[in-house]
Chain A
Amino acid sequence: MAREPLQTLTEPMYYILLCLTTECCGADIMRMVESVSHGRVRIGPGTLYALLQRFQESGVIADTCVRGRIRRYIITDYGRKLLDEEYARLEAMCRDRREFEGRITE
């Protein structure tokens, strides 16, 4: 069955939303994603802007201010709900694996 857009967040989406829990501009997001993921996830500026557009169209993030050439974004309440749901889903998956492996060793 086809998934609704943004129903499940991809890895770059998850990290971008995580960084946008504090107000950030595009360059900040790229730097923060790399540092938060310990260099595992790198997002190119083209990919970042395609995702920011998608997030804005879906009401997941909003513009806060424009200072010169720099535009800053922040997560909305709906975006935070999506992020929390994704976190709960990932946590449940990890818990399920631990329980499953525990049952096998018993």
Chain B
Amino acid sequence: MINTKWMFLPDYYCCADTLQKKLEEQALKGWRLDKFWRCGIFVFYRVEPQRLHYFVDLFPYGSDFDTVVIGRAEDYVSCCQAAGWELEAMRGRVYIFAAEDPDLPPIQTDPQLRFQSINRAMLRAILCCVTFALLGTAMVIFYALDGWGVLFNADASLRLRLCEWSTFVMVFLLALLGSAGTVSYLIWRAVNRKRLGREEPLWMGGHWHIGAVAAMMPVIVLARGYFVYALDYGVFRAVLTLLVGLLVGLFIRWYWFGQR
């Protein structure tokens, strides 16, 4: 019997309510949250089906690179425990709590403050999205003004055209993802500012994957780099380099974060 399940769920702070609902559905089906990564991958383990209530919170003192509960977070978690909430999983500043009692006081009692904390935490990812959207769009315009480079030039060599196409696809995807992230953030911000003005609860719905979008950007740049490398030096050497890169990355991750 399979005892572990992986799912791709809306991952960002502004989708907290959607995420809570999805986690509660999984608990009812007998899957309890084990851990998650910021690119939206959630890992569950099998338990008896149960009715659980989740709360996705943002720890203001935290860093985006936190992988364990340490320092002030320990105090924060024990405070939540005193209020009846048990920590299920955490990564970066995102802490996911669960409780069986549906009448527990919420972890966040001030919507204005919650909006400000989330807005502040989102700025880094949004800045990344805006930069890629602007740079990507500018480069697509540059391509168009330049007569699309050698993209459609049959006289150019195949290698040159493949390189040019890979660059164009990369730039286009970055512009698209960056714009999608920026627009979704602006909608979230505008809706909630209006709701706060009318003293209505915050809107934390939606199915956006801004974290996943931000995480995909370096992947696209790296993929394009390896594609061009493979064109020059062959697929075998490119795969070998990729494996070495992955090993070095894993070692750095273990050395830097695993020992904390």
The interface of chain A, by Cβ under 8 A from chain B, is 10, 12, 25-27, 30, 42-51, 53, 69-71
B153 to A: closest C-beta gap in Å: 56
Q: Which of B74, B83, B106, B114 contacts A50 (CB under 8 A)? A: B114
User: Once bound together, how far apart are the Cα atoms of A28 and B113, in whole Å?
Assistant: 21
Name the B residues within 8 Å of A44 (CB-CB). 83, 105-110
Quick one: given A42-B109, A71-B72, are A48 and B60 in contact (CB under 8 Å)?
Answer: no
Are B83 and A30 in contact, with the CB atoms below 8 A? Answer: yes
Are B113 and A47 in contact, with the CB atoms below 8 A? Answer: yes
B255 to A: closest C-beta gap in Å: 26
User: Once bound together, how far apart are the Cα atoms of A22 and B58, in whole Å?
Assistant: 28
The answer to whether B75 has its CB under 8 Å from any CB of chain A is yes
Task: Supply 17 A–B pairs (Cβ within 8 Å), ascending by A.
Answer: A12-B109, A26-B75, A27-B79, A27-B82, A30-B82, A43-B110, A44-B106, A45-B80, A45-B82, A45-B83, A46-B108, A46-B109, A46-B114, A48-B79, A50-B113, A69-B74, A70-B75
User: Once bound together, how far apart are the Cα atoms of A47 and B214, in whole Å?
Assistant: 27
- Most chain-A Cβ atoms within 10 A of its Cβ — which of B75, B78, B80, B82? B75
Are B105 and A42 in contact, with the CB atoms below 8 A? Answer: yes
- Scan residues 105-148 of chain B and give those whose CB is less than 8 A from a CB of chain A: 105-110, 113-114, 116-117
Majority secondary structure, A binding face: helix
Which 3 A/B pairs are nearest by Cβ-Cβ distance? A26-B79, A69-B74, A46-B107
Quick one: given A12-B110, A51-B113, are A46 and B78 in contact (CB under 8 Å)?
Answer: no
A71 to B: closest C-beta gap in Å: 4
Q: How large is the interface on B (under 10, 10 to 19, 20 to 34, 35 or more residues)?
A: 20 to 34
Name the B residues within 8 Å of A46 (CB-CB). 57-59, 80, 106-109, 114
User: Once bound together, how far apart are the Cα atoms of A27 and B84, in whole Å?
Assistant: 12
B215 to A: closest C-beta gap in Å: 25
User: Once bound together, how far apart are the Cα atoms of A31 and B78, in whole Å?
Assistant: 14
A78 to B: closest C-beta gap in Å: 20
Task: Report B66-89 CB contacts with A as 1/0, cut-off 8 Å.
Answer: 000000101111111011010000
User: Once bound together, how far apart are the Cα atoms of A12 and B113, in whole Å?
Assistant: 11
Name the B residues within 8 Å of A49 (CB-CB). 59-61, 72, 76, 79
Q: Which of B58, B74, B107, B116 contacts A45 (CB under 8 A)? A: B107
User: Once bound together, how far apart are the Cα atoms of A43 and B107, in whole Å?
Assistant: 8
- Most chain-B Cβ atoms within 10 A of its Cβ — which of A12, A43, A46? A46
Of all chain B residues, which has the CB nearest A53? B60
Name the A residues within 8 Å of B114 (CB-CB). 46-47, 50
Are B82 and A50 in contact, with the CB atoms below 8 A? Answer: no
Name the B residues within 8 Å of A71 (CB-CB). 72, 75
Of all chain A residues, which has the CB nearest B110? A47
